[in-house]
Structure formats: C-alpha cells, structure tokens
A and B are shown apart, each in its own frame.
Chain A
Amino acid sequence: MDKELKKRLQITATKVRMGIIEGVYNAKSGHPGGSLSIADTITYLYNHLMNVDPANPKMPDRDRFVLSKGHCAPALYSVLANRGFFPVDELKTLRKSGSRLQGHPVMDKVPGVDMSTGSLGQGISVACGMALSGKVSGDSYRVYAVLGDGEIQEGMVWEAAMFAAHYKLDNLCAILDNNGLQIDGKIDDVMSPNPIDEKFKAFGWNVICIDAHDFDQIEKAFYEAQCKTGQPTVIIQKSAKGKGVSFMENQVGWHGAAPNDEQYATAMSELQATLAELEGK
C-alpha cells in the first residue's frame, strides 16, 4: 500500500476508535471490544474502496455495507461520522432517547446505513439479497458484510453461505472478524465454530485469511476478492478485540461494557498519543 494512503488510513482509524470510545462512554453502555477490532477494516472500506457519497447517501449505484454484527454500531457510526455522513459530535448521543444513533443500526434513521441489523445472522442474508439484485439487474455495485466469529454460530449464516455460493454471488464479500471472544467467553469454549476457513471452503466460498490490523494485507485481500469471479469471498481477519486501547485488548469483559471516567481518560489519552505519533507531532 502507498505510504501516504496508509498513514492517512491509520490516522482516520485512530479517530474512528476515539469516536467509538466517546460514544460508548457517553452512552454508559454498548460494545467497544468488537467495534475496536473491526475499526481498521471499515475505515479502509469507507475511506478508500467503497463507492459512497456522504452528500448522496442513497445513491443507487453505491457499494453496500451491512454490519451483520450490528452490536458493533459504534464503529459504523464513527466511520460514517468521520467520513462526513453526519457530525462527529453526534456520536455523543449514542443510545440516548431521541437520538438517531440507536443501540443497533437503523437504515431509515442514519444516513449511510444500508441495512438495519442487530439480530445476529440476518445481515448476511440481506447482503445476499442485495448482491443477487445487483447481479440480476446488471448493476456494478459490490456488497460488503461484516460478521462476528460468534455470530456464525447462528444457523441462518450457513443458509446464507449456501445461497451465496449457489447463486455465484462474486459481487459479495463477507468479512469475518475473528477476535476469538464472545459474551460468555472464548468462542472455542462457548461453541466452537472452528475451523472457520474450512467450513466456508466447504460451502463453496473463496477464503482469504489476513491480519485485521495490517492495511497492506487488508488492501491485498479486498483486491483479490474483487478479482474473484464465480464465487463469493470471505475475508477471515484475525483481530484483537479492543484493539488500540491497551487495557481492553483481548479482554472478554470489554465485549459489552462502557469505560468509567478514569478508564475513558486513559483510553482517550492512549489514542491521542497514537494520533500524535502518526501525525508526527
């Protein structure tokens, strides 16, 4: 990846992480862990790869994004706000009564949100429908969907996996955020979905495995996905839950908990330091 681009994306991803912490801290609830683990990938999609226009969020030929693991809404909201779909300051209203930033994304409230999600396992089916519609109609848009590794315990995910391969939805790219943790503990202990790559291969998908926090690998994976014909692609990204905030990293307790005042201050100062370093200040 171009050095300038990488620096720019790293800076944006850090701001996105600050937005996640800001939102969850103000809401006093929410899901910071899984939001932080997908921050780099969604930042890349909305700030480099996807054809979107904040001034025209319903543009018919836009690329679509479905956050199938809808509880990581803080990440999507922060990416959208930092991309200019709505003011960054609005992130402080997350989960508050009267806010359009609901606990889980709502498509008819928030500009830039392509599908309402929250009930796990459904977003990937919806993404399949978007992809099928585009293929049948000869539209050029591509569809991206982010799944959690706990989420794929839902049987409906595998219905969708079968469907996508059957209809050769090569305009669909799923991103599987493999942070290894879910609410009750390690995915291996709760209900192991492993081996994830072999399962998707068996279902007829093109499988690419990467490090979720390496923009070079992210760029290469999405390029490969775009080039693949006749098969949907899943990018299995090995990630760290809570990535970017030291005390949250790989800690299951941060799946669905908000930082207190002290933790908020620590998290923000860490991210500020990261930002300052990236910006060379």
Chain B
Amino acid sequence: MEKIATRISYGNALNELVKKRPDLFVLDSDVSCATMTNIFGKENPDRHFNCGIQECNMLGVAAGIASTGKLVFASAFAMFAAGRAYEIARNSIGYPKLNVKIGATHAGISVGEDGASHQCCEDIALMRTIPGMTIINPADDVEARAAVVAMADYEGPTYLRFGRLPVPVFNDAATYKFEVGKGITLRASENDDITIIATGLLVYPAIEAAEELAKEGINARVINIHTIKPLDEELVLKAARETGKIVVAEEHSIIGGLGSAVAELVSEKCPVPVTKLGVNDTYGYSGPAVQLLEEFGLTTAGVIATVKKALGK
C-alpha cells in the first residue's frame, strides 16, 4: 500500500483549495519546507506569506486577515501552533469566532528524531478546551486532502492536525466522502464484541487489528473519528449501546484527547468501559518514528493487546 505523510497531503490540498477560494492566504512560520506549504507557495507565491519564527504573531495576523472576510491557513508545528500560541488561538481566534484554519503538522511522537521538545502529544487536549474550536485529525492522504478542501465552505475556528511520518493510503479517493463532525464506520457486524475508535495515524492499525482479532473469533467494530470536536456523539453512543465496550486509539496523550472525549461522553450518556491506547502521560524521545511507535505500543499489535485487555483476555 502506498504511504504518504499527511503534511504532504496538506500542501497539495492547498493548491486545490485556492481554486475554490481565490481569496486564500497561507501563512507559515519558517517551516514551509516541513509543513509542506511550500508546495502551495511555489504555485501561489503572491498568496503565501512567511511570518518567520513568530507563531504567536502569525496567529494574530491570521485573525486580522480572517476579520476582513478572507480565508486563511496558518501553519506551524503542532507544538508551537497549539502549545506556544495557545492563548492567541483562544483569545484572538476562538473567542471572536474568526474563520482561521490552523494547519498544524508534526503532531505526536512520530516526529521521530527531533525528540520530545518537538513531539506534541497535548495539542488535541489544548484545542478541545477552546469553545467553538473544530478539531480535525485526518488518517491518510485521501482524508487529509478532502478535509483541507472542505474548509472552502466550513466557517469558524478550526485546528487541522497532520503528521510527518508517511502512513498507508487506505481510503479510496473515488468513493471517500468527508463531512466535518461525522465519524466513519469502517467495519461493523450485528454481533460486535467491542468497538475500536481510532483517529489519525492509529486508524489503519485499528483496521489491521480488527482483521487479526476476527481470526481469533473476536468481532471488533472500527470507527474512524477524523473530527474530534464536535464529536460524532450519535455514532459513538450507538457503538457503546451495541457493543458494550470501547477502545480508543490515538497518537496523543491519554489525557484530554479523543479517549477523554469518548469517556466523557459515554460516562454521562451510556456508561460502558473505555480503555485508552495513547501516550501514557509521558514525554517522547529521539529515535526513528516507526521504532518509537512500536516502543509506545501505537501499532497494530498495541491495538490488539488493548482490545484483549479490555475484553479480559
């Protein structure tokens, strides 16, 4: 299966988006060759603006551009877009409900060799606390491109999360439909024992895990939640009711991410056990991305083990 990093999808999709929205501004913070907005910048130099190493000012500038009715993407590494510039996202974008799209790349530990200072596993948690902030975490190239292009018609503060590591392109571009806030059921039967809810880089391992578990007689439903906020509550609660147990898999801290969002929801509306697979309240470290994912258990084997643990097997 072909593998593409979703940051490259992001850069390519901006070139598609500007055809729909010629008013598009793309801002970057001296990392356009890493966030891949340089793919856009090469074709649209008059609409690509480098802000230098100023993530805070960049988000403020983006707010100003959005206030004049233009569509704007501001790009940085997740650590600095969500972390360093959190309060600008909160006060100058979220609070005034401005139509700024934050394009955050290099999320999670799969940043690899740069180590913990650049491995942001807290961004979803931070962004979730901002009222009105939409959070989208695409799973592959097809979904990432569709999500970016969908922003042509989606108004409001939005955080889009992309990765550095090439990941399998499992969605079919010909049939794939992206809708903000709608989860996608990738595998389901009438006698599912458990549901695996995954996002981003963990969606494909979740599919593989379900296939392996089926061989052992365990039926696992698989749901891809690309929009973490607003969460597709209906789909999650249906899975809770029908399968009685949930595993959530994400390349993010177990504090405040999709696992927390699901647990918060079901504990109130349909209490079932929720078992989280994520980064266990710790920092990452340097190493090849694939090796780090294995060491953190963020793999097919990790999902299988988590499902068995949740089922008491």
Q: Which residues of B contact A (CB under 8 A)?
A: 23, 25, 46-47, 49, 51-52, 54, 56-57, 59-70, 72, 87-88, 91-92, 95-97
Q: Is A133's CB under 8 angstroms from B65's CB?
A: yes
Q: Is B46's CB under 8 angstroms from A129's CB?
A: no
In the bound complex, what is the Cα–Cα distance between A64 and B92 (angstroms)?
16
Q: Report which of A64, A118, A122, A167 forms a contact with B88, defined as CB distance below 8 A.
A: A122
CB-CB < 8 A to B60: which residues of A? 122-126, 128-129, 156, 160
Q: In whole Å, how far is B63's beta carbon from the nearest beta carbon of chain A?
A: 5
Could you list some 7 contacts between A and B, CB below 8 A? Answer: A115-B63, A119-B87, A125-B56, A125-B59, A131-B64, A156-B56, A159-B57
| CB-based nearest B residue for A68 | B60
In the bound complex, what is the Cα–Cα distance between A122 and B65 (angstroms)?
14
Q: Report which of B61, B66, B87, B88 forms a contact with A163, defined as CB distance below 8 A.
A: B61
In the bound complex, what is the Cα–Cα distance between A163 and B67 (angstroms)?
18
Q: In whole Å, how far is A22's beta carbon from the nearest beta carbon of chain B?
A: 27
In the complex where A60-B69, A129-B67 touch, is A163 in contact with B54 (Cβ < 8 A)? yes
**B contact face: mostly helix, strand, loop, or mixed:** helix
Q: Is A126's CB under 8 angstroms from B49's CB?
A: no
In the complex where A128-B61, A133-B68, A133-B70 touch, is A119 in contact with B92 (Cβ < 8 A)? yes
Q: Is B64's CB under 8 angstroms from A128's CB?
A: yes
Q: Report which of A114, A124, A139 forms a contact with B67, defined as CB distance below 8 A.
A: A114
Q: In whole Å, how far is B86's beta carbon from the nearest beta carbon of chain A?
A: 11
In the bound complex, what is the Cα–Cα distance between A60 and B96 (angstroms)?
18
User: Could you count the A-B residue pairs with CB atoms below 8 Å apart for me: how many are there?
Assistant: 103
CB-CB < 8 A to A123: which residues of B? 60
* 8 Å CB interface, A126-154 against B: 126-134, 136-137, 139
In the bound complex, what is the Cα–Cα distance between A107 and B91 (angstroms)?
12
Answer whether residue A216 sits at the interface, using C-beta atoms and an 8 A cutoff. no
Answer whether residue A108 sits at the interface, using C-beta atoms and an 8 A cutoff. yes
Q: Is A118's CB under 8 angstroms from B91's CB?
A: yes
Q: Is B91's CB under 8 angstroms from A132's CB?
A: no
Residues of chain A at interface, number, CB under 8 A: 34
* 8 Å CB interface, A47-72 against B: 60, 64, 66
Answer whether residue A162 sits at the interface, using C-beta atoms and an 8 A cutoff. yes
| CB-based nearest A residue for B68 | A133
Answer whether residue A78 sits at the interface, using C-beta atoms and an 8 A cutoff. no
Q: Is A126's CB under 8 angstroms from B70's CB?
A: no
In the complex where A136-B46, A167-B49 touch, is A125 in contact with B64 (Cβ < 8 A)? yes
CB-CB < 8 A to A119: which residues of B? 87-88, 91-92
Answer whether residue A179 sits at the interface, using C-beta atoms and an 8 A cutoff. no
Answer whether residue A76 sits at the interface, using C-beta atoms and an 8 A cutoff. no
